[in-house]
């Protein structure tokens, strides 16, 4: 009887018990199953076994081989789990007094400007609303007094989806939804005040001051007796807060089917100081905030009686504002994904743990 496979199993069992990490088990695998291992050695010995016993002996060797393979796999699994557990336990008790040594991220400049504006408007009683980037013809145009074939649509060509939907060309696309959402305010004697920032899309030839994907922030206020002076007040307050200095602005008539009267609020280019540069198309002025009194048809479309209520709307160019505030001369930087450019604007001391300790 060929006993060696049985003996080998016993030897393996003992050694396996002593192997306490995955490295030791790997050693065992080489020792027993490797090219020059014990199993291979037994195979060689088969040559010396008489023919009639070869089959039985071969079977025994194979069984032993299989047994060792299974044991190794099981032991490896056990040890891996134990090692993972140890690692988790070790990381759970980390040293809180150690300095943080990770590369902290930064905010995108448009996010920074958006957050700043949101807190300014929140302090003035405005709600901050979100709206989808995909909308439909009704919300983007019809509800805004821009019927089919109106020439105002030419300036707002966009990306149309096969589902009869489109990517919104301006944040005004949310006006109808937001007006409807808050119109019960009016019934209870309160104004509608909301801002809704968002990403907009247009079929645009890209250059230093035009992008096909950009951000706007829309604002609306509706109540009894809202007038242009309310609009001008909010615009001025907002701009002086954002720039923390006197900004030269000008208001000129502008046409948008959803406001009447409509204006263009321009600010003097902060990049060239009004002398003319590529960002302001050499005019010294930048269109920053088209605005106006909400057209009665828009109020009616949202179920609000224009005889009783009036309101203003503005569509602030958030991307433009970020360009002005951070003196970025080329709009293409914002969507470039260039971290070297984009990470400069976050005040890193905000994240600095030492500055928190001092505070």
Contact residues toward ligand PHE (CB under 6 A) are 170, 172, 256, 259, 262, 290-292, 313-315
Min dist. Cβ of residue 254 to ligand PHE (A): 7
Q: Which is nearer to ligand PHE, 106 or 172 (CB)?
A: 172
Min dist. Cβ of residue 258 to ligand PHE (A): 6
Min dist. Cβ of residue 202 to ligand PHE (A): 9
Q: Which is nearer to ligand PHE, 302 or 313 (CB)?
A: 313
Q: Which is nearer to ligand PHE, 120 or 259 (CB)?
A: 259
3-state secondary structure string across the chain: CCCHHHHHHHHHHHHHHHCCCHHHHHHHHHHHHCCCCHHHHHHHHHHHCCHHHHHHHHHHHHHHHHHHHHHHHHHHHHHHHHHHHHHHHHHHCCCCCCCCCCCCCCCCHHHHHHHHHHHHHHHCCCEECCCCCEEEHHHHCHHHCCCCCCHHHHHHCCCECCCCEEECCCHHHHHHHHHHHHHHHHHCCCCEEEEEEEEEECCCCCECCECCEEEEEEEEEEECCCCHHHHHHHHHHHHHHHHCCCCCEEEEECCCCCEEEEEEEEEECCCCCCCCCHHHCCCCEEEEEEEEEECHHHHHHCCCCCCCCEEEEEEEEHHHHHHHHCCCCCHHHCCCCCHHHHCCCCCHHHCCHHHHHHC
Min dist. Cβ of residue 315 to ligand PHE (A): 3
Min dist. Cβ of residue 353 to ligand PHE (A): 42
Q: Which is nearer to ligand PHE, 235 or 269 (CB)?
A: 235
Q: Which is nearer to ligand PHE, 19 or 298 (CB)?
A: 298
Q: Which is nearer to ligand PHE, 64 or 216 (CB)?
A: 216
Min dist. Cβ of residue 273 to ligand PHE (A): 26
């Amino acid at each position: 009887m060929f006993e060696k496979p049985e003996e080998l199993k016993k030897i393996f069992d003992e050694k396996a018990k002593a192997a306490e990490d995955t490295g030791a088990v790997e050693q065992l695998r080489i020792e027993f199953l490797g090219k020059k291992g014990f199993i291979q050695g037994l195979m060689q010995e088969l040559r010396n076994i008489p023919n009639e016993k070869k089959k039985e002996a071969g079977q025994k060797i194979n069984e032993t081989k299989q047994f060792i393979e299974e044991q190794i796999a099981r032991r490896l699994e056990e040890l891996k789990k134990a090692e993972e557990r140890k690692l988790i336990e070790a990381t759970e008790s980390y040293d809180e007094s150690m300095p943080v040594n990770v590369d902290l991220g930064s905010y995108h400049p448009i996010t920074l400007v958006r957050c700043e504006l949101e807190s300014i408007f929140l302090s003035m009683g405005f709600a901050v609303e979100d709206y989808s980037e995909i909308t439909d013809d009704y919300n983007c145009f019809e509800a805004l007094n821009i019927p089919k074939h109106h020439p105002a649509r030419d300036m707002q060509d966009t990306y149309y989806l096969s589902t009869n939907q489109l990517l919104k060309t301006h944040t005004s696309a949310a006006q109808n939804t937001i007006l409807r959402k808050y119109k019960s305010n009016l019934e209870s004697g309160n104004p509608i005040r909301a801002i809704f920032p968002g990403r907009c899309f247009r079929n645009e030839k890209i250059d230093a001051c035009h992008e096909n994907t950009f951000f706007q922030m829309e604002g609306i206020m509706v109540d009894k007796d809202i007038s242009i002076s309310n609009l001008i007040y909010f615009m001025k307050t907002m701009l002086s807060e954002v720039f923390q200095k006197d900004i030269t602005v000008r208001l000129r008539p502008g046409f948008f089917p959803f406001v009447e009267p409509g204006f263009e609020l321009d600010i003097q280019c902060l990049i060239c100081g009004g002398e003319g540069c590529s960002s302001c198309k050499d005019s010294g002025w930048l269109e920053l905030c088209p605005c106006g009194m909400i057209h009665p048809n828009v109020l009616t479309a949202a179920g609000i009686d224009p005889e009783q209520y009036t309101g203003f709307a503005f569509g602030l160019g958030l991307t433009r504002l970020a360009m002005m505030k951070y003196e970025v001369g080329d709009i293409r930087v914002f969507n470039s994904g260039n971290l070297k450019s984009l990470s400069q604007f976050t005040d890193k001391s905000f994240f600095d743990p030492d500055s928190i300790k001092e505070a």
